[in-house]
């Protein structure tokens, strides 16, 4: 990105209406959905495994190709019309000075997760490294989590009638004890399958190297190094909808976040295929 392009995007970011933090907190917005604390307190507590799994999205690099979505759908058998991960667009500027911004999105694996607080069946819980996951023995599929999630990151499977969301591809990342993305040999027999840990499917699929996943407690992990480099270049990283007080485990670099935020679904919505409808782009770009 040249300096000129960066200047233009930064000016566009200031000129566009940003979804401002309102006086309403997450608690005020969703309190009606929440279960009593004693019902979810244990499920909100991650196992004491010393790991802090999280995501870094370098939206400066995203080219909006949707390869991450396709690999996610393929890996997790996501049906047509539903998404675990989606890349949102927003056009900015006036012709001839225009640009299209991209925001790859998925579950934020919130530390203070409203979906866990709202789940009446005890199905949503924290697992390895703080990953927020669904227990399919318990999920009764009545969708309180969809109503509570401020990022549109859960859908109800149309056939199974159960909640579906990003689970950090645990069938890949928990294969062994090695750091996901670490090529060195993992300790055999130590994980679910006794093999080498792999990254979530979207990460190695991304041709732009915009997605990073790993242990934020490990100073040598790829994600920590990428975040450090981005902070050095750009200053503090951003998070989505901090006014919701969910403490997301996803950080973004680049100016796309405040620009694209207004087209990302919120409480009661899920990522949907209509986001790609050209009339919606036009509408969203006004």
Nearest CA to 261 out of 11, 10, 13, 5 is that of 13
151 binds ligand SF4 (CB under 6 A): yes
Residue closer to ligand SF4 (CB basis): 88 or 191:
88
Does position 134 interact with ligand SF4 (CB under 6 A)? The reply is: no
273 by Cβ neighbours in 10 Å (0-12 / 13-18 / 19+) ranks as exposed
Residues 116/125, Cβ–Cβ less than 8 Å:
yes
Q: Which is nearer to ligand SF4, 58 or 178 (CB)?
A: 58
SS3 231: helix
Instruction: Find the helix or strand (DSSP H, E) in which 45 lies.
Output: none
What sign results for the dihedral spanned by CA atoms 21, 267, 104, 113?
positive
CB-count exposure of residue 243 (10 Å: 0-12, 13-18, 19+)? middle
Asked if residue 133 binds ligand SF4 (CB under 6 A), the reply is no
- The interface region with ligand SF4, picked from 44-52, 89-97, 101-109, 213-221 by CB under 6 A, is 101-109
Backbone φ/ψ region at 238: left (φ over 0), alpha (ψ -120 to 50), beta: beta
Q: Is 64 in the site for ligand SF4 (CB under 6 A)?
A: yes
**Site track for ligand SF4 across 77-96, x = CB under 6 A:** ----------x---------
C-beta neighbour count of 162 within 10 angstroms: 18
Pick 104 or 180: Cβ nearer ligand SF4: 104
Give the per-residue contact string, 219-258, with ligand SF4 (x = CB under 6 A; - = no): ---------------------------x------------
Least distance in Å: CB of 230 to ligand SF4?
15
Interacting residues with ligand SF4 (CB under 6 A): 62-68, 87, 102, 104, 107-110, 113-115, 132, 149, 151, 153-154, 165, 205-206, 208, 210-211, 246
């Amino acid at each position: 990105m040249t300096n000129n392009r960066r200047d233009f995007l930064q000016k566009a970011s200031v000129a566009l209406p940003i979804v401002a933090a309102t006086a309403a907190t997450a608690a005020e917005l969703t309190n009606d959905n929440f279960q009593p604390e004693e019902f979810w307190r244990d499920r909100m507590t991650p196992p004491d495994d010393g790991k802090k799994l999280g995501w870094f999205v370098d939206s400066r690099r995203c080219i909006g190709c949707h390869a991450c979505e396709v690999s996610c759908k393929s890996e997790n058998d996501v049906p047509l019309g539903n998404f675990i991960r989606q890349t949102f667009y927003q056009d900015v500027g006036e012709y001839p000075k225009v640009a299209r911004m991209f925001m790859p999105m998925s579950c934020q694996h919130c530390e203070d997760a409203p979906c866990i607080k709202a789940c009446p069946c005890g199905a949503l819980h924290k697992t390895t490294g703080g990953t927020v996951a669904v227990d399919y023995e318990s999920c009764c599929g009545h969708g309180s989590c969809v109503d509570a999630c401020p990022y549109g990151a859960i859908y109800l499977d149309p056939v199974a009638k159960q909640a579906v969301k990003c689970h950090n591809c645990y069938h890949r990342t928990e294969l062994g004890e090695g750091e996901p993305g670490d090529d060195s040999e993992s300790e055999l027999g130590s994980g679910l399958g006794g093999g080498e840990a792999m990254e979530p499917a979207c990460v190695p699929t991304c041709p732009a190297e915009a997605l990073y996943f790993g242990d934020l407690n490990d100073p040598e992990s790829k994600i920590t190094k990428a975040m450090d480099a981005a902070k050095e270049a750009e200053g503090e990283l951003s998070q989505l909808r901090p006014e919701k007080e969910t403490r997301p485990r996803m950080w973004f670099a680049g100016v796309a976040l405040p620009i694209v935020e207004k087209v990302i679904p919120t409480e009661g919505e899920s990522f949907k295929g209509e986001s790609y409808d050209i009339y919606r782009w036009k509408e969203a770009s006004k």
